[in-house]
């Protein structure tokens, strides 16, 4: 198990302040959780603490999703109906779609 956090400061723009890019790689047994928070065009990512909080909040949500999967605590969808095609009538299909 391990965790790698990278915080990068993007270059300074004329109208915007410095924006921060935060990525978190979390190595778990049998899986890797990667969160990559790109700076947006709003002021929230100008604060390094807000940018880091957002990244770790996303990691927490992903870990909670993984825990639900491991506990089988997810909603199972009904299996879609399936069947066996015995005959295809290509001429009828072509005629129908040509008339549309």
Q: pTM value?
A: 0.59
Q: What is the pLDDT of residue 11?
A: 66
pLDDT of residue 80: 78
| pLDDT at position 40 | 62
Q: Which residues pair with 34 in a beta bridge?
A: 25
Please give the pLDDT value at position 47. Answer: 78
pLDDT in tens, the chain (100 residues): 888 988 888 766 555 567 788 889 988 888 888 888 766 655 566 778 888 888 889 899 988 888 888 787 766 677 777 888 788 788 877 877 776 5
C-alpha distance from residue 67 to each of 1, 16, 83, 88, 100 (Å):
16, 39, 35, 46, 50
């Amino acid at each position: 198990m391990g965790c790698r956090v990278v915080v990068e400061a993007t270059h300074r723009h004329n109208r915007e302040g410095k924006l921060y890019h935060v990525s978190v790689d979390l190595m778990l047994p049998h899986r890797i959780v990667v969160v990559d928070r790109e700076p947006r065009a709003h002021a929230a990512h100008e604060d390094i603490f807000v940018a880091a909080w957002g990244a770790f909040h996303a990691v927490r949500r992903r870990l909670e999703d993984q825990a639900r999967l491991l506990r089988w605590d997810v909603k199972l969808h009904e299996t879609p109906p399936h069947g066996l095609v015995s005959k295809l009538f290509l001429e009828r299909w072509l005629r129908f779609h040509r008339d549309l």
